[in-house]
């Protein structure tokens, strides 16, 4: 049997499942994320009510009339026959395209038509001259229309200026269905991997986002949102789906554009700043939304996604980051991608990259070269964080260290107290407000726990790490009630013991 996987046709044995199709097609898919199954293209198009007619003057959008079932069925079965046809005539009242041969039967009655009606006309009362007429003004006429709904099959929903510009020298370039969310939902189901497929089925496993080249920071923000390869749906409506994982993270205004269907945006100000939205329906331009990019694959999957779903997501270009690699690893990573590499800072093979220039994926892809800043591996520490147990405190830590903007963050040592075997890092007061008690110690604070003082004490936001267990106080000097455990050090222990006041520690999360 023949099926399509992400718009690519493949052949499968009868009785094959979605899992089989994904494997044969080698389709992008992260286990546990959403899958969309369309039973067949014919069924999908049967529910479509809007069509885009591209002319040499521009595009026209028509919406079919639900009261004209026979005429809309005629259009659905024959619309491609009008492709490459001419604009036959125009007047102050009408413009006509065609003609084709049909099996329709004409009437000879006169009817009143409203402005922007779309009419099926059998010129000279002959089905061999079947035209489509766009009414440009209210008028009466005898068009030899079929005996249904005065021959009105649709209404103009967009492109009225295009119709006004049409002349006898123009033609129809293309006609295509306008895929809307309702059409997809009516003919799509979400299925598990064991669902058996049938001939003609269409399967969608991922979405692809093409970057807005004018918004490098916003696109990098999006790359952080989909760090695990999926877009999590934290809220969904008829108009959009949204992700809240970086809500509260402020970004400057970049490219602001109309939010068309398939557009990905980042809220740059106001309530919900930092949220990312993907639009199912078009909305007007607003200055509070940066355009991140556009969906180029998988709108069908986007349309059926529900709250708490994860959607496998890839981007063009894919993320380019050398941060956290050694200089030697960066060499190999960039060579594979055909990107010129220049080492800076500590250039030894085992030096760890903590910054890159350009910093953003879009800029690197355009320039095709990069400079990496290396530091001694002795300045580098690996950590594991607990965002589920201490969400507010982990957010605070990632924000002040820069881990939201890069794969490596940094902390400045405020106090290195050798006798007590601990390091402390000063609070960032602006960001520390609202750090409620979260994951508190029970009997002791373990060696290498990363702790943040919470609102149960005066010095909110201080960060501390002990090198030994302690059953009395947290590493910030607070009681257990004032100490949130946010993670632990998992690599670079000897490095930690050697840091002094004023030193910079570079941290990377172990995935």
Whether residue 188 sits in one domain with residue 42: yes
C-beta separation of 63 from 134 below 8 A: no
Whether residue 268 sits in one domain with residue 185: no
Does an H or E element contain 199, and which?
Answer: none
Residue 67's pLDDT band (cuts 50, 70, 90): very high
Q: Is the pLDDT of residue 132 over 80?
A: yes
Whether residue 474 sits in one domain with residue 401: yes
- 15 lies in some domain: yes
Distance CA 400, CA 102 (A): 69
Whether residue 41 sits in one domain with residue 185: yes
Residue 25's pLDDT band (cuts 50, 70, 90): very high
Residue 142 sits in a domain whose CATH number is 2.40.100.10
Q: Is the pLDDT of residue 179 over 90?
A: no
- 10 lies in some domain: yes
Give the residues across from 82 on adjacent strands: none
The pLDDT score that the predictor gives to residue 182 is 65
Whether residue 96 sits in one domain with residue 156: yes
Q: Write the pLDDT tens digit of every residue in 138-168.
A: 999 999 999 999 999 999 999 999 999 999 9
Distance CA 258, CA 224 (A): 24
The pLDDT score that the predictor gives to residue 361 is 97
The pLDDT score that the predictor gives to residue 304 is 87
Q: Write the pLDDT tens digit of every residue in 337-376.
A: 999 999 999 999 999 999 999 999 999 999 999 999 999 9
Average confidence (pLDDT) over 310-319: 97
Residue 121's pLDDT band (cuts 50, 70, 90): very high
- Give the CA distances from residue 426 to residues 300, 386, 411, 462, in Å, rounded to whole numbers and listed in that order: 49, 21, 9, 5
Residue ending a domain, among 128, 161, 177, is 177
Whether residue 455 sits in one domain with residue 414: yes
- 185 lies in some domain: yes
Q: Write the pLDDT tens digit of every residue in 265-288.
A: 999 998 899 999 999 988 888 899
Whether residue 349 sits in one domain with residue 232: no
Tell me if residue 37 falls in helix, strand or coil.
strand
Residue 128's pLDDT band (cuts 50, 70, 90): very high
Residue 419's pLDDT band (cuts 50, 70, 90): confident
Distance CA 62, CA 254 (A): 34
- Mean per-residue pLDDT of the chain: 93
Whether residue 190 sits in one domain with residue 172: no
Q: Is the pLDDT of residue 13 over 90?
A: yes
C-beta separation of 192 from 18 below 8 A: yes
Token pair 């489509």 is at which residue? 132
Q: Is the pLDDT of residue 511 over 80?
A: no
Q: Is the pLDDT of residue 207 over 90?
A: yes
Tell me if residue 466 falls in helix, strand or coil.
strand
- 322 lies in some domain: no
Residues 6+ apart with CB under 8 A from 347: 327, 374
Tell me if residue 326 falls in helix, strand or coil.
strand
Q: Which domain holds residue 235?
A: 206-316
How many domains is the chain built from? 5
- 321 lies in some domain: no
The pLDDT score that the predictor gives to residue 41 is 64
Q: Is the pLDDT of residue 131 over 70?
A: yes
Query: Phi and psi dihedrals of 137, rounded to 5?
Result: -160, 165
Q: Is the pLDDT of residue 192 over 80?
A: yes
The pLDDT score that the predictor gives to residue 191 is 72
Average confidence (pLDDT) over 196-223: 94
What does the angle CA 218 – CA 401 – CA 488 come to, to the nearest 5 degrees? 125
Whether residue 424 sits in one domain with residue 404: yes
Whether residue 118 sits in one domain with residue 105: yes
Structure tokens that stand for 224 in this block: 């952080």
User: Does the predicted TM-score (pTM) go above 0.85?
Assistant: no
Whether residue 144 sits in one domain with residue 24: no
Whether residue 305 sits in one domain with residue 290: yes
Distance CA 291, CA 34 (A): 25
Q: Is the pLDDT of residue 183 over 70?
A: no
Residue ending a domain, among 296, 316, 336, is 316
The pLDDT score that the predictor gives to residue 38 is 84
Residue 92's pLDDT band (cuts 50, 70, 90): very high
Average confidence (pLDDT) over 15-33: 95
Residue ending a domain, among 307, 340, 375, is 375
The pLDDT score that the predictor gives to residue 59 is 95
Q: Is the pLDDT of residue 43 over 90?
A: no
Distance CA 303, CA 391 (A): 30
Average confidence (pLDDT) over 320-329: 95
């Amino acid at each position: 049997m023949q099926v399509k996987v992400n718009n690519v046709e493949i052949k499968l044995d009868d009785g094959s499942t979605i899992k089989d199709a994904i494997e044969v097609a080698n389709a992008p898919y992260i286990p546990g994320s959403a899958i969309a199954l369309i039973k067949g293209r014919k069924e999908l198009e049967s529910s479509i009510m809007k069509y885009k007619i591209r002319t040499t003057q521009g595009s026209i959008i028509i919406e079919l009339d639900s009261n004209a079932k026979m005429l809309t069925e005629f259009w659905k079965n024959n619309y491609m026959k009008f492709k490459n046809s001419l604009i036959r005539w125009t007047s102050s009242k009408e413009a006509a395209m065609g003609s084709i041969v049909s099996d329709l039967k004409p009437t000879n009655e006169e009817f009143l038509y409203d402005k922007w009606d779309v009419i099926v006309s059998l010129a000279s009362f002959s089905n061999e001259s079947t035209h489509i007429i766009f009414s440009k003004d209210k008028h009466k006429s005898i068009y030899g229309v079929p005996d249904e709904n005065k021959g009105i099959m649709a209404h103009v929903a967009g492109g009225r200026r295009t119709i006004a510009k049409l002349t006898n020298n123009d033609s129809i370039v293309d006609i295509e269905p306008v895929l809307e969310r309702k059409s997809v939902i009516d003919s799509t189901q979400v299925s598990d991997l064991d669902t058996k497929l049938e001939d003609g089925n269409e399967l969608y496993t991922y979405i692809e986002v093409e970057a807005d080249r004018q918004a490098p920071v916003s696109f990098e923000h999006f790359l952080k949102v989909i760090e695990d390869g999926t877009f999590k749906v934290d809220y969904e409506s008829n108009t959009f789906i949204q992700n809240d994982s970086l809500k509260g993270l402020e970004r400057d205004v970049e490219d602001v554009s109309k939010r068309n269907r398939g557009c990905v945006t980042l809220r740059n100000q106001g309530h919900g700043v930092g949220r990312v939205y993907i639009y199912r329906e078009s909305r007007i331009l607003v200055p509070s939304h940066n355009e991140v990019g556009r969906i180029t694959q998988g709108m069908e999957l986007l349309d059926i996604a529900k709250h708490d779903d994860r959607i496998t997501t890839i981007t063009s270009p894919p993320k380019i980051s050398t941060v956290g690699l050694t200089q030697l690893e960066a060499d190999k990573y960039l060579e594979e991608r055909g990107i010129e590499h220049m080492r800076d800072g500590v250039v030894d093979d085992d030096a760890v990259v903590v910054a890159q220039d350009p910093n953003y994926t879009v800029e690197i892809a355009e320039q095709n070269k990069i400079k990496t800043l290396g530091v001694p591996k002795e300045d580098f520490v690996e950590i594991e964080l607990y965002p589920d147990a201490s969400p507010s405190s982990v957010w605070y830590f990632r924000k002040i260290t820069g881990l939201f903007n890069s794969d490596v963050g940094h902390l400045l040592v405020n106090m290195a107290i050798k006798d007590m075997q601990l390091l402390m890092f000063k609070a960032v007061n602006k960001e520390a407000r609202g750090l409620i008690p979260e994951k508190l110690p029970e009997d002791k604070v373990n060696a290498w726990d990363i702790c943040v003082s919470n609102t149960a004490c005066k010095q909110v936001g201080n960060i501390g790490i002990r090198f030994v267990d302690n059953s009395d106080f947290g590493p910030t000097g607070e009681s257990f009630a004032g100490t949130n455990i946010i993670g632990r050090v998992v690599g670079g222990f000897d490095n930690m013991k050697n840091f002094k006041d004023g030193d910079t520690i570079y941290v990377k999360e172990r995935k």
